[in-house]
Amino acid sequence: MKKLLNTLYVTSPDAYLSLDGENIVVRKDDEVAMRLPVHNLDAVIAFNYVGASPALIRKCTENNISISFFSGNQYCGRFVGKENGNVILRKTQYRFSDDQQKCLDIARNMILGKVFNERYVINRALRDHEMRVDTDKLRNASGLLQKAIENIRKCQDLNELRGYEGEAATVYFRVFDELILQNKEQFRFRGRNKRPPLDNVNALLSFAYSLLANECAGAAYSVGLDPYVGFMHRDRPGRRSLALDLMEELRSPVADRFMLTLINKRQITADDFLEMEDHAVIMKEEGRKTVIQRWQETKQEVIQHPFLKEKIQLGLLPYAQALLLARYLRGDLDAYPPFLKR
């Protein structure tokens, strides 16, 4: 299994990245704010608008360290090194993506994993916080998601599958506010909105999903797959469709539980958010720093992978699923095994 290396997150908008020998240097106001050895890093994710030096970009690509740039929560672009894997795997991926039945076989398992994990999050709240949640509402949602799982198993059409996925997401987010146990006035959830997010919870969800999507894209690339060619999410210029596919089953057990922990443990507050004139809500720099620090800590947690039967760090979960998908495409597995949280 791959070793989990560090990811450098640059949240300050006026920071500039440069190279000094074998070190990445982060400069702010013409002063060195941070210096890190190149060999300790797996990726750099920058939310700055000043940029990075050509020398640093070349050094990172030579060492297979990706550099991703974001504007707010929106992905802008990515520098990577030479292609990983082999052309035969990617050609197989492209052939599968053009075959509706093969797309369905993969996507159905991914969405089964997504709905199964949504139900797990709800059932976990029922088990751990029975006295603090509306148990009737959550049990009803859990039952509806179980019915969705049964329908998805029998589904024989991609559009039908997308319909079941959308219905399950509606059920899940309808009770999502019940999972927020602290700071209810500051973090009340009234429904999912994202372009732009209109409240603190949606801003936090969008940011967590952006971090997860980027890691799924990196995981796909690291095993030799094309992050832009998916099976559930169809081709669209600029959209990392496979990364979105891979993250579906990881949204609730990784990103959602992460952000719920931040809120319920009061590790983030309303002071970390800013409402703009158009009512869009964004995270302040200090809020992003807090989220990223906790994200890095969360990635170090060790879990038991239900299919691999191995203990891995949570940060390696996107890589493990991308690896299993690659094995399926090569013919080493009879089906793609989704991650099912136990």
Beta bridge partners of 108: none
pLDDT, average across residues 182-200: 87
Instruction: Specify burial of residue 298 (Cβ count, 10 A radius: 0-12, 13-18, 19+).
Output: middle
Where helices occur in 36-157 by DSSP H, the ranges are 54-62, 87-97, 100-128, 135-154
Which DSSP string corresponds to 268-289? Answer: S-GGGEEE-TTS-EEE-HHHHH
Q: What is the pLDDT of residue 3?
A: 55
Span 143-179, pLDDT tens digits? 999 999 999 999 999 999 999 999 999 999 999 999 9
- What digits encode the pLDDT tens for the residues 322-338? 999 999 999 999 999 99
Structure tokens given for 291: 């989220």
- DSSP class of residue 91 equals H
Q: What mean pLDDT comes out for the span 34-57?
A: 78
Is the preceding peptide bond at 196 cis, omega within 30 degrees of 0? yes
Token digits for 313?
């760090």
pTM of the model: 0.83
In tens, the pLDDT along 254-274 reads 999 999 999 999 999 889 888
Q: What does the alpha-carbon distance between residue 220 and residue 102 come to, in Å, rounded to a whole number?
A: 18
Based on DSSP, count helices (H) and strands (E) in the chain, helices before strands: 10, 12
What letter does residue 323 receive in the DSSP assignment?
A: H
Which residue intervals of 186-284 are DSSP H helices? 200-222, 241-248, 257-264
* Residue written as token pair 């093969």: 102
Q: CA–CA separation, 14 vs 47, rounded Å?
A: 9
Predicted local distance difference test score (pLDDT) of residue 248: 96
A 10 A CB-CB count for 285 gives 13
Type of residue numbered 159 = N
State whether the Cα torsion 267-31-47-22 is positive or negative. Answer: negative
> CB of 45 within 8 A of CB of 214?
yes
Range name among 27-31, 52-56, 173-177, 280-284 with the lowest pLDDT average: 27-31
Mean pLDDT, the chain, integer: 88
Token digits of residue 61: 């690509």
Length of the chain: 342
Task: Indicate the Cα dihedral angle 101, 102, 104, 105, nearest 10°.
Answer: 120
Exposure string over 259-271, b if 16+ CB within 10 A, otherwise e:
bbebbeeeebeee
Cβ proximity of 231 and 222 under 8 Å: no
